[in-house]
Amino acid sequence: MRYFLTTLYGRSEILFLFGAVCLLAALVFITLTRYSDTQVMGVNAWYKPFKFALSIGIFCWTMGWYTGYLDGGPGLRTYAWAMVILLGFELVYIALQAGRGQLSHFNDSSPVYAGLYAAMAVAATAVALWTAYIGLLFFREDFPGLPDHYVWGIRTGIVIFVIFALEGFVMGSRMSHTIGGPDGGPGLPVVNWSTRYGDPRIAHFIGMHALQVLPILSWFLLKDTKAVLLAAMLYGLLAVFTLVQALQGRAIFSGQS
């Protein structure tokens, strides 16, 4: 673990430190769920900032690790600072709204809230597209010091991540993360994925975490380029399947629809 942390710090000090702040914030937020009764749509308000802080922290450390393989330049430093600004804005706003017991996403109850929600959508899109550019660099550059199967794990992980990051527009266009019923119904603990209706957040989660799953599988288990490409295809199909189920209003974790 010490090797990982020191290496990560050397590769991207900016993303390492911001990721660490987010992970510490996640600990604070999950602790607040034990001491705060504030709820948003029937769920403890602090679960949402916890999930976002944890996810952003993991994302920043992941990209800090990967960008260390690329040829250096001001573009990578700009990318790192952009992630801090864009994702930092999202996390701060989500946490502030949680503390006030109000929605952050899908909140158009006032011009100010509608504008801030739109700004979050712009920020999330910018993160996805900028990360797509990083993915393009991985396709353009050669990595003689890395196994091909690992490089392809990173490439396919970024591709699937970008696709399912942009899948957030499915929810944004509907102003809801539940299909077939209202938001805020029964759901799984912590993540609150609906157990009664379709929930595109499941595909969003699965697809975006291809960023970690595929490179880890390629490095520790698969160790073969063809196997990695097959795993990427199957993983992508799993994410697509959960999205199709959600669009049909069907719950993944329940027989109800």
Q: What is the pLDDT of residues 97-131, one digit of tens each?
A: 999 999 999 999 999 999 999 999 999 999 999 99
Contacts of 83 (CB under 8 A, 6+ apart): 15, 18, 59, 60, 63, 127, 130
Which pLDDT belongs to residue 245?
Answer: 96
* Amino acid identity at 158: I
Q: Are 94 and 52 in contact, with CB atoms under 8 Å apart?
A: yes
- The distance from CA 236 to its chain's CA centroid, rounded to whole angstroms, is 15
Helices (H), 44-110: 47-67, 74-100
Q: Which of 202, 187, 206 is nearest to 246 (CA)?
A: 202
Which pLDDT belongs to residue 185?
Answer: 85
Cα gap 212→62, rounded to integer Å = 7
Q: What is the pTM of this model?
A: 0.96
178-187 pLDDT per residue, tens: 999 999 889 9
pLDDT beneath 70, residues of the chain: 255-257
Q: Which of 183, 191, 175 is nearest to 41 (CA)?
A: 183
